[in-house]
């Protein structure tokens, strides 16, 4: 089993010739699940000398980054979490600067941050502090100073935290190797000590990085640095990616449940009846013997007992239902009693699946469809805000209760960007989802994202109105994607406005870049006429390609008969 992510740290800072030290720096190494899911964070900041509250600015950058990054949802990717934390910190600094000093630059600082997670390094940078990588005896800068030169030859920072309401953060990622050394420094050091000297000093330190950091700071001061001088050294002792065999073992410590039948009990839950059976799982209606509450009990299929990717997805399902709070996302339930088997509990929704609703309403009113789609979009947006992609939206995974409230269920196929980033080895290699609702780009090898969920919602909307899918059978190969053509829903539902058909045609475009940019845009396009979709002046082959080619074939046949007749 591999060791968890671990590092060795060295730090030193000196105010130098200045009256105060406006530099700040720090590292946070969490334990347990936070270390697995969020990794290790480190940063350095240099308060601008022109700022009246330079030290407060640099300290705020470091403390906010190290604290708020770990408070962000584990489902968020490192880039999303860090970017949002830095943007919020930037707005706070700028607001405080204006309120207290009447200036944009009185609470400003540089910032360079690093997150080590899932075998990768994620770097975030603003200003002229620096992060460099020492690997193979060579020190390579990973960040670039944001400076501009005046006509007089003086240099000024072009970017800084707190210097305006808009923040542009440089982002970079690279794969980690055991033994990698990251060197953080402020300009008071790297402007006066060469990269070769930094590399020599670190490699000669024999792992005493505090001593090496102090020597480098003292050398910068000896070279005439007039600034505060700070550096931080971090060596990666273990990359910490999870070991597949060990992780698989933890997932399978709980045995798979036996085949369940009505009347049987499992951990205090009495089985009422089977609700759904698939090759991947069994779903039952159950009652909690202690409370009398009805709930849904989902068990994994024994077919996947030795599949770590499936087990990872199954284990995440409970987490998703606990993490996402929305009236349109089914809530998962943590068992009150000691769990003896592997299963998931989900709130019981008394009602019917959207598939059943469609069977009962083969020609629904457009407004009824809009009401359901609006609720689906609200639920999916709640998932997306946590950077969770459902990947298997379809009528059977959407419930409608007796009050007409729509709830999204079944999170066994979700893609969680933050957790996938922490453990990329457990990401599925192939597209998840159900043929007919899987976006064409996934069949061609792309990874699922918000656009692929948008496609699925549009396909469901089309099916609700027509009883068919926009490309009929969907896609299972790149060849099928290439040959498929959109079928206008007005062939089946001529009462539906042209602009609604146009909105859905855009949403299920085979090119995700030409779809609506956001789910909210799709919702608006389905309710308000978009001038881009109101024109009926389209070629017949585009409006109805099947009828076009049928007409062409008929005309060719008639021409052949005429030619034979006149011979």
pLDDT in tens, 271-313: 999 998 888 889 999 999 999 999 999 999 888 887 877 887 7
- Residue 532 is predicted with a pLDDT of 85
129 phi, psi to nearest 5 deg: -70, 175
Is residue 556 within a helix (H) or strand (E), and if so which, with residue range?
helix 545-565
What percentage of the chain reaches a pLDDT higher than 90?
68
Query: Residue 122 in contact with residue 101, Cβ under 8 Å?
Result: no
Spell out where 176-302 has E strands. 181-185, 229-238, 265-266, 269-277, 281-288, 294-300
Mean pLDDT of the chain: 90
Radius of gyration of the chain (CA): 30
- Residue 538 is predicted with a pLDDT of 52
369-386: b or e for each residue (b if 16 or more CB lie within 10 Å)? bbebbebbbbbbbbbbeb
Phi-psi map region of 435: left, alpha, beta (phi>0 left; psi -120 to 50 alpha): beta
Query: Residue 48 in contact with residue 54, Cβ under 8 Å?
Result: yes
pLDDT band, very low/low/confident/very high, at 76 (cuts 50, 70, 90): confident
What kind of fold does domain 246-347 have according to CATH? Phosphorylase Kinase; domain 1 (3.30.200)
- Residue 254 is predicted with a pLDDT of 79
Structure-model confidence comparison of residues 542 and 165, the more confident one: 165
- Residue 560 is predicted with a pLDDT of 73
Model confidence at 453: pLDDT above 80: yes
Every domain of the chain and the residues it spans: 6-241, 246-347, 351-536
Tokens of 503: 């909105």
pLDDT band, very low/low/confident/very high, at 241 (cuts 50, 70, 90): low
Q: Which CATH superfamily is domain 6-241 in?
A: PPM-type phosphatase domain (3.60.40.10)
Model's pTM, two decimal places?
0.71
Q: Which residue, among 174, 39, 234, has the nearest Cα to 117 in the 3D structure?
A: 39
Model confidence at 544: pLDDT above 70: no
- Residue 363 is predicted with a pLDDT of 94
- Residue 438 is predicted with a pLDDT of 93
- Residue 456 is predicted with a pLDDT of 97
Q: What's the pLDDT tens digit per position in 329-363?
A: 999 998 888 888 889 999 999 999 999 999 999 99
Tokens of 230: 């700070």
Residue 187 neighbours by CB distance under 10 Å: 24
- Residue 547 is predicted with a pLDDT of 59
d(CA 115, CA 65): 10
Model confidence at 103: pLDDT above 60: yes
- Residue 316 is predicted with a pLDDT of 78
Torsion of CA 38, 40, 41, 42, to 10 degrees: -170
pLDDT band, very low/low/confident/very high, at 545 (cuts 50, 70, 90): low
Structure-model confidence comparison of residues 317 and 247, the more confident one: 317
- Residue 334 is predicted with a pLDDT of 83
- Residue 338 is predicted with a pLDDT of 82
Model confidence at 249: pLDDT above 60: no
Model confidence at 252: pLDDT above 70: no
Model confidence at 507: pLDDT above 90: yes
Is residue 64 within a helix (H) or strand (E), and if so which, with residue range?
helix 54-71
Structure-model confidence comparison of residues 32 and 236, the more confident one: 236
Which overall architecture, per CATH, does domain 351-536 show? Orthogonal Bundle (1.10)
pLDDT band, very low/low/confident/very high, at 416 (cuts 50, 70, 90): confident
Model confidence at 206: pLDDT above 90: yes
Q: What's the pLDDT tens digit per position in 473-489?
A: 888 888 888 888 999 99
Query: Residue 393 in contact with residue 460, Cβ under 8 Å?
Result: yes
Model confidence at 539: pLDDT above 60: no
C-alpha separations of 119 from 36, 123, 174, 176 in Å: 11, 13, 9, 5
Query: Residue 296 in contact with residue 275, Cβ under 8 Å?
Result: yes
d(CA 417, CA 414): 9
pLDDT band, very low/low/confident/very high, at 93 (cuts 50, 70, 90): very high
Is residue 499 within a helix (H) or strand (E), and if so which, with residue range?
helix 498-507
User: DSSP characters for 305-351?
Assistant: TT-HHHHHHHHHHHHHHHH---TTBPPEE--SS---S--EEEE---E
- Residue 429 is predicted with a pLDDT of 61
Across 21-25, average pLDDT: 98
Asked which of 218-232, 284-298, 301-315, 398-412 is least confident by mean pLDDT, the reply is: 301-315
């Amino acid at each position: 089993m591999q060791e968890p992510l671990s590092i060795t740290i060295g730090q030193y800072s000196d105010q130098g010739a200045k009256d105060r030290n406006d530099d700040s720096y720090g590292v946070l190494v969490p334990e347990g699940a936070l270390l697995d899911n969020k990794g290790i964070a480190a940063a350095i900041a240099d308060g601008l000398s022109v700022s009246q509250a330079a030290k407060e600015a640099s300290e705020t950058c470091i403390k906010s980054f190290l604290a708020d990054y770990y408070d962000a949802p584990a489902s968020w990717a490192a880039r999303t979490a860090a970017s949002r934390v830095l943007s919020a910190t930037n707005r706070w600094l700028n607001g405080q600067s204006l309120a207290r000093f009447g200036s944009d630059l009185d609470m400003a600082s540089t910032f360079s941050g690093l997150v080590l997670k899932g075998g990768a390094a994620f770097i975030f940078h603003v200003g002229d502090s620096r992060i460099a990588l020492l690997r193979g005896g060579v020190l390579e800068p990973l960040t670039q100073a944001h400076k501009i030169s005046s006509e007089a030859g003086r240099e000024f920072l072009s970017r800084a935290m707190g210097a305006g309401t808009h923040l542009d953060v440089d982002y970079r990622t690279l794969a980690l190797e055991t033994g990698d050394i990251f060197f953080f420094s402020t300009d008071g050091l790297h402007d006066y000590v060469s990269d070769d000297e930094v590399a020599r000093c670190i490699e000669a330190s024999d792992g005493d990085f505090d001593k090496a950091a102090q020597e480098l700071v003292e050398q910068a001061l000896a070279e005439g640095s007039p600034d505060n001088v700070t550096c931080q050294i971090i060596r990666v002792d273990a990359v910490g990616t999870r070991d597949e065999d060990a992780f698989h073992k933890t997932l399978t410590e709980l045995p798979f449940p036996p085949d369940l039948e009505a009347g049987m009990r499992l951990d205090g839950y009495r089985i009422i009846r089977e609700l759904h059976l698939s090759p991947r799982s069994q779903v039952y209606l159950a009652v909690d013997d202690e409370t009398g509450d009805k709930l849904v009990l989902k068990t994994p299929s024994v077919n996947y007992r030795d599949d770590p990717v499936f087990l990872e997805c199954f284990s995440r399902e409970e987490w998703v239902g606990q993490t996402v709070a929305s009236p349109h996302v089914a809530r998962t339930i943590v068992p009150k009693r000691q769990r003896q088997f592997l299963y998931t509990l989900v709130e019981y929704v008394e009602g019917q699946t959207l598939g059943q609703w469609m069977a009962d309403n083969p020609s629904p009113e457009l407004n009824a469809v809009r009401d359901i789609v609006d609720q689906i979009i609200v639920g999916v947006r709640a998932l997306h805000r946590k950077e969770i992609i459902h990947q298997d939206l379809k009528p059977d995974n959407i419930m409608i209760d007796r009050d007409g409230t729509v709830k999204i269920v079944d999170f066994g196929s979700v893609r969680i960007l933050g957790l996938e980033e922490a453990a990329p080895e457990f990401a599925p290699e192939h597209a998840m989802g159900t043929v007919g609702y899987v976006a064409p780009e996934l069949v061609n090898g792309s990874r699922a994202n918000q656009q692929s969920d948008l496609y699925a919602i549009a396909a469901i909307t089309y099916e609700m109105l027509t009883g068919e899918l926009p490309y009929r059978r969907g896609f299972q190969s790149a060849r099928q994607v290439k040959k498929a053509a959109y079928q206008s829903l007005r062939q089946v539902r001529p009462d539906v406005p042209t602009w609604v058909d146009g909105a859905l045609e855009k949403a299920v475009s085979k090119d995700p870049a030409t779809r609506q940019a956001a789910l909210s845009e799709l919702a608006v396009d389905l309710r308000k006429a978009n001038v881009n979709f109101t024109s009926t002046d389209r070629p017949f082959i585009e409006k109805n390609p099947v009828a076009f080619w049928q007409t062409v074939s008929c005309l060719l046949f008639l021409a052949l008969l005429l030619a034979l007749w006149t011979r």
